[in-house]
Amino acid sequence: MAYLRSRLLHLIPVFFLVTFMSFMLMNLLPGDVVDTILAGEDAATANDPEVRRQIEEELGLDKPLPIRYVLWLGDLLQGDLGRSFITGKKIGDLLLQRIPVTAQLMVMSLVFALIIAVPLALLSAYKSNSYIDRLITAGAFGLVATPTFMTSIVFIWLFAVILQLLPAAGHAPMFFGVWANMKHFILPMLAIGLSEVPIFLRVLRVDLITTLQEDYIALAKAKGLSTTYILIHHAMRPSSFTLITVLGLQVGRLISGLVIVENIFALPGIGKLLIDAIDARDVLVVQAIVTFSAIAYVAINLSVDVLYALLDPRVNRRAEEARQAARRAREV
Amino acid sequence: MAMSINFVQPWWKRLGIVFWLCVGWLIFISFGALLAPWLPLYDPLSTNLDRQFEPPLSEGYLLGTDAVGRDLLSRAIHGGRVSLTLAFTAPFLSLAVGLVLGLSAGYFRGRVDTAVSVFTDSILAFPNIVGVMVILFFFGATLPVMILALAFFGIPPEVRVARANTILFAEREFVLAARAQGASSVRIMVRELLPNVIVPMLSLVLFGMSIVIIIEGALAFLGVGFPPPTPTWGKMVGDGFEEISKAPHITFVPAGVMFLTILSLNMIGDRLRALSDVKASAV
């Protein structure tokens, strides 16, 4: 539990700093906050004293900055993200509407990435330094150099333009049928999934190579167990820690990918909402999404830590190693 | 990447042909971008409606033309100017900040270390593309803002490497000797630790450059980067994307240039890291 406690003590200040940074986005702005909020409106609305007073009141602009932060954070923790001054809708509702699409894409992409990365990592580690290992490593290297928006374009060109198998853009809710829904998710899933593959691959490969040199693997071999059995049951299991950590730390990257892909494929998720809000200069929605994604990152990483503590009380060393390995892999 | 180093060969042969091809490509593209206004190229903005959608290798246009007859070669070379300006500034700023924070965290440990790690973890909580996008939105899409935003999100990895290496070297005899001679903390950090810590950080700068190019490309592609009509690779890919069913080359020419540049930076960074790597387990 010492591990969990130290992680918690670390994530609490991180949470406050992260929310403070998001809060300050609005307040570090050159010029008047109200002007910025009304920048997307026409002149008549923007100069209406009644509108301006209403905004000032809602944001509590008459109060000092620290008080405003505390009030804002209090509202946030109660799920009140305020109201968009452009559309008049509750921002919390807007986000809730969009979350299912984003979550579906996220889960599908991660599952796809793992289905590709785990067997390749096993193969790569088992035959390390062989021809096939080098081929896999080189492939991963190429994928890293391909930004998500480029992968998306290549897939659209290949599957929507040339082969005409899948739609290039759009979204169909589940009640139109499972296939109608899924076919709009396949290309986005491939684009995001493939950008995650090299990260998982790299971390797992190194991890597995170390594991395969352990004595208990030699013992398992001596007992005459099959290679596949050893790889899956003996070698893969300790790597699940590493995998969970990478998943947690990857959330940030994943969100960046979602923003790009949702916009290319016109999927109505949070990422699409972000760009739409930027185009409409809907300041509060932009701020809310940034805050939301940063809090999601902290929350997911906290869950990873809790999960560790539950899975294995002796986690301290292993968890820290996994964290470091994941950090390193992510830099590239 | 796995590789074996033969210590008998001269250093430049040891790095391998691929490494030098990558260096060559980067020199080519950097000087092209730097000298673009003075090179004998078409104006990247001037349209020629008689020569729309020319495929690559057509007469007078080596890489073809886009939907309004603008020369893709000229645009690809000019398009590197924004990306490369960012790539040659932001990662070095990250390096400078990361060096100061990482040295302090690794040398003083304790509270300084905690404070630095809270700061870097907070940066990591913001997805970098989203972060840069939003900063541009709030503070205006200008070059200085973009450089600072990109530099900000590049800090955490530099800190991690600087800190890890500082911890490693701080226990070595030469640091102890300096301390025994009465050297101050600042002097030890600058004179003894910095030269050892900065080498692995420099290879990280190359990865930083490729990340900067990716982020700029993605933002320009989504139309939230620099305002038009400045050609940048990402924007060219975005423009071409609208015509992808008719003339895919308009998309794939800038995409290919961008891909090769990112690949080269990663390849060089990877090689340099392999040469300057401190035992990974010590991190």
Q: Locate the DSSP E strands across chain A.
A: none
Is the model more confident about A173 or about A223? A223
Any bridge partners for residue A228, and if so which?
A: none
- Give percent above pLDDT 70 in chain A: 90
pLDDT reading at A332 higher than 60: no
Q: How far apart, in whole angstroms, are the C-alpha atoms of residue B269 and residue B19?
A: 10
The Cα of A48 is separated from the nearest Cα of chain B by a number of Å equal to 23
H/E stretch holding B146: helix B143-153
Average pLDDT over residues A174-180: 75
Residue A112: what pLDDT? Answer: 94
A17 Cβ under 8 Å from any chain B Cβ: yes
**Per-window interface: A 272-331 vs B, CB < 8 A:** 274-275, 278, 283, 286-287, 289-290, 293-295, 297-298, 324, 327-328, 331
The closest of A264, A146, A196 to B214, measured between CA atoms, is A146
Measured between beta carbons, which residues in chain B are less than 8 angstroms from residue A10?
A: 114, 117-118, 121
Tell me the HSE value of A176 on the side-chain side, using a 13 A CA sphere: 9
Contact assessment for residue B232 and residue B281, using Cβ atoms and an 8 Å cutoff: no
Higher pLDDT, A175 or B158: B158
Residue B194 and residue B186: Cα distance in Å, rounded? 10
A99, two tokens: 């979350």
- Of the pLDDT bands very low, low, confident and very high (cuts 50, 70, 90), residue A67 is confident
Number of CB pairs < 8 Å for A and B?
147
Classify each residue of B6-26 as buried b or exposed e, where b means 16 or more C-beta atoms within 10 Å of its C-beta.
eeeeeeeeebeeebeebeebb
Q: How far is A170 from chain B (nearest CA, A)?
A: 15
Range B184-202 average pLDDT: 86
Q: Convert the pLDDT of each residue in B10-35 to its tens digit.
A: 777 777 888 899 999 999 999 888 88
According to DSSP, the residues that pair with A203 across neighbouring strands are: none
Are B231 and B75 a contacting pair, CB within 8 Å? yes
pLDDT at A315: 56
The band of B173, judged by pLDDT with boundaries at 50, 70 and 90, is confident
CB A245 within 8 A of CB A326: yes
The residue among B6 and B170 whose pLDDT is bigger is B170
Q: pTM for the full model?
A: 0.87
Hunting for tokens 């300057």 — which residue is that?
Answer: B276
Where does residue A266 fall: left (phi above 0), alpha (psi -120 to 50 degrees), or beta otherwise? left
Smallest CA–CA separation between B181 and chain A, in Å?
35
- In percent, the amount of chain A with pLDDT more than 90 equals 20
B240/B248 Cα distance (integer angstroms) = 7
Of B280, B160, B1, B278, the closest CA to residue A210 belongs to B280
Q: Do A150 and B131 touch (CB under 8 A)?
A: no
pLDDT at B93 over 90: yes
Rounded CA separation B89/B36 (Å): 19
Cα–Cα distance for residue pair A220/A227, rounded to 1 Å: 9
Q: Examine the pLDDT at A102 and tell me if it is beyond 60.
A: yes
**Chain A residues inside the 8 Å CB shell of B218:** 147-149, 256, 260
* Secondary structure in 3-state letters for A132-186: HHHHHHHHHHHHHCCCHHHHHHHHHHHHHHHCCCCCCCCCCCHHHCHHHHHHHHH
pLDDT confidence of residue B179: 85
The predicted structure's pLDDT at residue A229? 85
Q: Point out the residue among A21, A259, A295 whose CB comes nearest to the CB of B129.
A: A259
Chain-centroid distance, C-alpha A29? 27
Query: Which of B83, B129, B160 best tests the A interface by mutation, with the highest count of A CBs <10 A?
Result: B129
Task: Tell me how far apart the alpha carbons of residues A9 and A17 are, in angstroms, rounded to a whole number.
Answer: 13
| Percent of chain B with pLDDT strictly greater than 90 | 30
**Which residue of A149, A251, A267, A285 to mutate against B (max B Cβ within 10 Å)?**
A149
Query: For the residues B69-77, what does the mean pLDDT come to?
Result: 80
A147 touches chain B (CB under 8 A): yes
Q: Give the whole-angstrom CA distance, residue B177 versus residue B187.
A: 13
Q: Which of A278, A298, A328 is opposite residue B125, by nearest beta carbon?
A: A298
Does residue B150 register a pLDDT over 90? yes
Percentage of chain B beyond pLDDT 70 is 88
pLDDT at B69: 66
* Cβ contact B105:B119 at 8 Å: no
- Contact yes or no for A150 and B248 at CB 8 A: no
State the pLDDT at residue A243.
82
Whether the CB-CB separation of B120 and B159 falls below 8 Å is answered with yes
| Token reading at A183 | 């076919």
Model confidence band, residue B228 (pLDDT cutoffs 50, 70, 90): low
pLDDT band at B282 (very low <50, low <70, confident <90, very high): very low
Nearest to B211 by CA among B155, B254, B149, B154: B154
> Is residue A314 predicted with pLDDT exceeding 70?
no
In chain B, residues 145-204 whose CB comes closer than 8 Å to chain A? 157, 160, 204
Q: What is the mean pLDDT of residues A199-212?
A: 86
B114 touches chain A (CB under 8 A): yes
Indicate if ipTM > 0.95. no
Q: How confident is the model at residue B229 (pLDDT cuts 50, 70, 90)?
A: low
Please state which of the ranges A251-265, B2-16, B63-77, B114-128 shows the lowest mean pLDDT. Answer: B2-16
The amino acid that residue B187 corresponds to is R
CA–CA min distance B38, chain A (Å): 30
On chain B, the residues whose CB falls within 8 A of the CB of A283 are 138
Can you name the residues that pair with A83 across neighbouring β-strands?
A90
Cα of A61 to nearest chain B Cα, Å: 18
DSSP annotation string for B203-257: HHHHHHHHHHHHHHHHHHHHT-SSPTTS--HHHHHHHHHTTTTT-THHHHHHHHH
CB B250 within 8 A of CB A298: no
Q: Using the predicted structure, report yes or no on whether residue A48 has a pLDDT greater than 50.
A: yes
Statement: residue B279 has pLDDT above 60: no
The whole-angstrom separation of Cα A254 and Cα A191 is 11
Q: Is B268 on the interface with A (CB under 8 A)?
A: no
Say yes or no to pLDDT of B78 above 60. Answer: yes
Nearest CA of chain A to the CA of B139: how many Å? Answer: 7
Closest by CA to A52, choosing from A69, A32, A70, A77, is A32
- Give the lowest-confidence range in A63-67, B9-13, B190-194: B9-13
Q: List, in order, residues 6 or more apart from A276 with CB less than 8 Å away.
A: A282
| Residue A77 reports pLDDT greater than 90 | no
Q: Are B239 and B66 in contact (CB under 8 A)?
A: yes
- CA-wise closest residue to A255 among B125, B209, B217, B226: B125
Cβ–Cβ below 8 Å for B139 and A249: no
Local confidence band at B176 (pLDDT 50, 70, 90 cut-offs)? confident
Structure tokens at A59: 């944001």
For residues B85-101, average pLDDT: 95
* Nearest CB to B126; choose among A142, A252, A332: A252
Tell whether A210 lies on the interface with B, counting CB pairs under 8 A.
no
Q: What is the pLDDT of residue A80?
A: 82
User: Residue B184, Cβ neighbours under 10 Å: how many?
Assistant: 11
Given CB atoms, is A233 within the 8 Å cutoff of chain B?
Answer: no
**Tens digits of residue pLDDT in A134-143:** 999 899 988 9
Q: How far is CA B162 from the centre of its chain?
A: 18
Contact (CB<8Å) A260/B129: yes
Q: Does A8 touch chain B (CB under 8 A)?
A: no
A266 in contact with B at a CB cutoff of 8 Å?
Answer: no
Environment class of residue A270 by beta-carbon count within 10 Å: exposed (0-12), middle (13-18) or buried (19+)? buried
Q: What is the mean pLDDT of residues B142-154?
A: 93
Mean pLDDT for chain A? 83
pLDDT of residue A309: 74
CA dist., res. A12 & res. A17, Å (int): 9
Interchain CB contact of B234 with A (< 8 Å)? yes
How far apart, in whole angstroms, are the C-alpha atoms of residue A200 and residue A202?
Answer: 6
